[in-house]
């Protein structure tokens, strides 16, 4: 393949997504109200085409930098891009009927979702800090709008405004950190900075470098909801439209981790001992706050918000371990988390009914055997989130905790196990309410209406949660193959 075509091939999925997003914006105004579904169909088609083009042009043996040193073309990019496209695919499927039920606008939703996917892709494939920042901004800007997508709902407005203001501050801090690094090294590319840093040992202990890297960590810590930068999470998840909350819990988190892994291991491999301590404290805080906060929640969306904080903490164990097993554990966990959390949010979006009325745990009383086709998958998702064997969540935690244990982080792993034991309580509480409690007023269970598309996507998620729990080796091997490109 010539270098010129290689440039386009390495960026092809993003081009496809962008082109289809523009197409949706051109087509949507001419559609009548009942034809609006067509926009969602275009977006699903775009994601499938981008996925196929990603599969066609894999780069399994070489790591190339294209577009004048702006993006990486390697298997890590390919695998993470596949993950993001899967997220987009499942979110669009869940949104299919949800948007119609809530009387929202499919055209805007689909195009914003595609733009958010482009931003996530850019974060994972970027080889230059300025590129990473622009990717992050595209993703954040789209999610701010999506969070406030119910324009007439006060809670949705509050959620969007909170996310926007806090997100703006965190982006500013991130950019400030990047400017420190630029002033320090005179370059913005990952390789360039790593080269400068590897030259002299005097660089490593410099407070300027420490401050720059610290600010970058704060910026990413906000996106992936690490304590102490997690405060926005429960409020934003509660107020945002449920499908969007599902997207926010997996999308920005996965993209943030993808970029953070690249930055930590490609720019700062030598300074990792300096950061490990910080990561350890943040991981402990994140796991405890997430799990303890979730116990007292009555609202299921808030509960999953706190649980998503806790899961960000578990994944941090992989960075602390800093070996191939830990890294591949993070990528495996991102996949597992995608299926189980998106599935859980999908079922919640079905149960809540028009106008998101039924979102407390009490509303779930006694529906267990009435809608087994939905409650059994939900139980699988919750058990997987709790880390019960035979599910994907168990394998993910097993790999992450095992990696941390091998690097002699005994205390940390004990705390992590304790934290996941706490989490069993609140996940099981939902299951107990569904199957063993009767409704407060007899015969007054919630009425559930669902479409075939939503049921199909719930079942797909449940299937993959079980599949990854029983046969994890294929994905684990792929993740191992991918993280080799991080140069560990």
Contact residues toward another protein (CB under 8 A) are 11, 18, 25, 32-33, 36, 67-71, 105, 108, 111-112, 115, 118-119, 122, 128, 130-131, 134-135, 137-138, 141-142, 144-145, 148, 151, 183-184, 186, 202-203, 206-211
Q: Are 362 and 433 in contact (CB under 8 A)?
A: yes
Nearer to another protein, 36 or 397 (CB): 36
Q: Which is nearer to another protein, 119 or 366 (CB)?
A: 119
Minimal distance in Å, beta carbon 106 to another protein?
11
Q: How far is the CB of 101 from another protein (least distance, A)?
A: 17
Q: For another protein, which is the closer residue by CB, 199 or 449? A: 199
Cα–Cα distance measured from residue 418 to residue 291, given in angstroms and rounded to the nearest whole number: 10
* Closer by beta carbon to another protein, 11 or else 333: 11
Side-chain half-sphere exposure of 435, counting CA atoms within 13 A: 11
Minimum distance, C-beta of residue 207 to another protein, in the bound complex (Å): 4
User: Of 115 and 351, which CB lies nearer to another protein in the complex structure?
Assistant: 115
Per-residue burial over 465-486, b if 16 or more Cβ lie within 10 Å, else e, is bbebbeebeebbebbbbbbbbb
Q: Say whether 416 sits in a helix, a strand or coil.
A: helix
Peptide bond into 228 cis (omega under 30): yes
DSSP one-letter string for 381-407: HHHHHHT-TTSHHHHHHHHHHHHHHHT
| Alpha-carbon gap, residue 300 to 439, rounded angstroms | 17
Q: 118 or 462: whose CB is closer to another protein?
A: 118
Smallest distance, Å, CB 236 to another protein? 16
- What tokens were used for 289? 């706050």
CB of 108 to another protein, least distance (A): 6
Shortest Cβ 34–another protein spacing (Å): 8
Q: Are 238 and 163 in contact (CB under 8 A)?
A: no
Cβ nearer to another protein, comparing 92 with 479: 92
* Contact assessment for residue 345 and residue 461, using Cβ atoms and an 8 Å cutoff: no
Q: How far apart are the first and last CA of the chain?
A: 28
Smallest distance from another protein to CB 33, Å: 4
Adjacent-strand bridge partners of 360: 299
CA distances from 404 to 118, 283, 287, 327, 386 (A): 33, 12, 15, 11, 19
């Amino acid at each position: 393949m010539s270098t010129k075509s290689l440039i386009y091939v390495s960026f092809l999925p993003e081009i496809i997504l962008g082109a289809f997003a523009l197409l949706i914006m051109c087509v949507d105004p001419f559609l009548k109200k009942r034809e609006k579904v067509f926009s969602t169909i275009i977006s699903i088609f775009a994601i499938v085409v981008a996925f196929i083009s990603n599969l066609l042009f894999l780069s399994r043996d070489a790591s190339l930098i294209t577009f004048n040193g702006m993006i990486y073309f390697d298997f890590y990019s390919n695998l993470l891009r596949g993950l993001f496209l899967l997220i987009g695919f499942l979110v669009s499927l869940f949104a299919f009927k949800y948007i119609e039920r809530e009387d929202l606008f499919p055209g805007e939703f689909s195009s914003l979702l595609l733009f958010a996917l482009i931003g996530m892709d850019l974060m994972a494939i970027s080889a230059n800090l300025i590129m990473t920042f622009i990717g992050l901004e595209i993703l954040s800007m789209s999610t701010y709008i999506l969070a406030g997508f119910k324009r007439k709902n006060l809670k949705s407005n509050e959620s969007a405004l909170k996310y926007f203001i806090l997100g703006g501050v965190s982006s500013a801090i991130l950019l400030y950190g990047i400017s420190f690094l630029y002033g320090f090294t005179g370059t913005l590319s990952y390789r360039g900075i790593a080269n400068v840093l590897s030259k002299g040992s005097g660089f490593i202990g410099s407070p300027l470098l420490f401050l720059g890297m610290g600010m970058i960590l704060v910026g990413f810590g906000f996106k992936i909801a690490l304590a102490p930068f997690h405060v926005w999470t429960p409020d934003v998840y509660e107020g945002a439209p449920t499908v969007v909350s599902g997207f926010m819990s997996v999308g920005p988190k996965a993209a943030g981790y993808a970029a953070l892994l690249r930055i930590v291991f490609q720019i700062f491999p030598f300074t990792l001992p300096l950061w490990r301590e910080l990561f350890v404290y943040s991981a402990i805080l994140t796991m405890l706050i997430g799990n303890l906060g979730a116990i007292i929640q009555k609202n299921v969306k808030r509960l999953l918000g706190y649980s998503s904080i806790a899961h960000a903490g578990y994944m941090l164990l992989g960075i602390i371990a800093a070996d191939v097993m830990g890294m591949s554990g993070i990528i495996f966990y991102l996949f597992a988390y995608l299926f189980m959390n998106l599935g859980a949010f999908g079922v919640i979006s079905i149960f809540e009914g028009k106008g998101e009325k039924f979102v407390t745990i009490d509303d779930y009383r006694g529906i267990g055997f009435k809608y087994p086709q939905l409650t059994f998958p939900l139980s699988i998702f919750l058990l997987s989130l709790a880390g019960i064997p035979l599910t994907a969540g168990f394998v993910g935690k097993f790999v992450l905790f095992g990696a941390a244990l091998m690097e002699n982080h005994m205390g940390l792993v004990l705390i992590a196990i304790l934290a996941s034991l706490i989490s069993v309580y609140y996940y099981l509480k939902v299951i107990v309410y569904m199957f063993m409690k009767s409704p407060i007023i007899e015969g007054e269970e919630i009425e559930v209406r669902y479409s075939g598309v939503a049921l199909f996507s719930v079942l797909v998620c449940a299937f993959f949660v079980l599949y990854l729990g029983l046969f994890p080796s294929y994905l684990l091997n792929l993740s191992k193959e991918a993280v080799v490109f991080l140069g560990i």
